[in-house]
Structure 1
Amino acid sequence: MTARHEWDWPPERTRIAELSFRFPARRKSGRGRFADGFFRVIKTCLKVAAGIILVSVMAGAIWIMVTAIKAWT
């Protein structure tokens, strides 16, 4: 048998691990979980919308620069 190191798996059971195993975390009610999922979807939609707006603004800026360069020459 080889010597155990601190990075060996599985880790030794600690007092905190025993307590967390004995008293699992409380689950949210159905409404709370629904609200979490709903707000996650809304947040994702806002991120997608922000990305689309950013791409549109960048495309508009490039179009303005190209138009200005064409007018300049």
Structure 2
Amino acid sequence: MAKPVIHKERCAAQPQICPPLKACPVRAIAYQEDDDEPLGGRIVIDLDTCEGCGRCVTICCGSCIEWVEELCV
């Protein structure tokens, strides 16, 4: 099963300009303040809440979110 993954190195992590925050129909994407992050926070995905609609992947303006297949071992 695929899951969305955020590539932190590409993400601006600014809630004011992050389209996926508003696009997620189940609010699985959130901004989390974190003083250890260079910009003071990060965008996170709650995989337990995510329903896999893919809106975040298609609307992300920096191509920071992609689908990754989980490997069953």
With normalisation by structure 2, the TM-score equals 0.15
Q: Per residue, is there more helix in 1 or in 2?
A: 1
TM-score of the superposed pair, with normalisation by structure 1: 0.15
Higher Cα Rg, which structure: 1
